[in-house]
């Protein structure tokens, strides 16, 4: 993903802490790339792969900036980023398992039948 090099990092001077100076911009970009990798899924809600990758990159940048300014130390930053990567990976895994579940079509049919039953009762 070449676009990672073009990303503008969020620098809020009013929120800067002393430890922020110890984190190189390239390291922050690498953390954004790790977040993108964790959030990437075979389930693509967009028709366009480029649009999907751009959305992932934007969301990862937002998450990284939130953790960067929330953290009280460099170690805390690492911990918050690692936790976000883990949670993103878990969410993607859950989504992919749900999408590939053989129960999904049956659940959808059941929900559809319930909706049809309710609408026929309303018209009686």
Q: How does pLDDT run across 58-67, given as a tens digit for each residue?
A: 899 999 999 9
Average pLDDT over the chain, rounded to an integer: 80
CA separation for the pair 86, 105 (Å, rounded): 29
Helix ranges restricted to H, the chain: 25-39, 49-70, 74-99, 103-123
Any residues with CB less than 8 A from the CB of 111 and at least 6 apart, and which? Answer: none
- pTM metric for this prediction: 0.70
| More confident position, 115 or 13 | 13
Any residues with CB less than 8 A from the CB of 124 and at least 6 apart, and which? Answer: none
Q: Is the dihedral of CA 6, 33, 12, 18 positive or negative?
A: negative
Any residues with CB less than 8 A from the CB of 41 and at least 6 apart, and which? Answer: 92, 95, 96
**Quick check: 13 pLDDT over 60?**
yes
């Amino acid at each position: 993903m070449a676009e990672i090099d073009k990303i503008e990092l969020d620098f809020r001077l009013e929120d800067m802490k002393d430890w922020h100076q110890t984190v190189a911009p390239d390291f922050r970009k690498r953390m954004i790339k790790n977040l993108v990798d964790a959030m990437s899924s075979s389930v693509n809600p967009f028709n366009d792969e480029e649009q999907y990758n751009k959305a992932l990159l934007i969301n990862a940048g937002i998450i990284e900036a939130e953790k960067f300014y929330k953290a009280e130390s460099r170690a805390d930053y690492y911990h918050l980023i690692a936790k976000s990567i883990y949670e993103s990976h878990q969410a993607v895994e859950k989504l992919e398992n749900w999408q590939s579940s053989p129960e999904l079509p049956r659940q959808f049919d059941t929900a559809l039948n319930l909706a049809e039953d309710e609408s026929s009762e309303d018209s009686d």
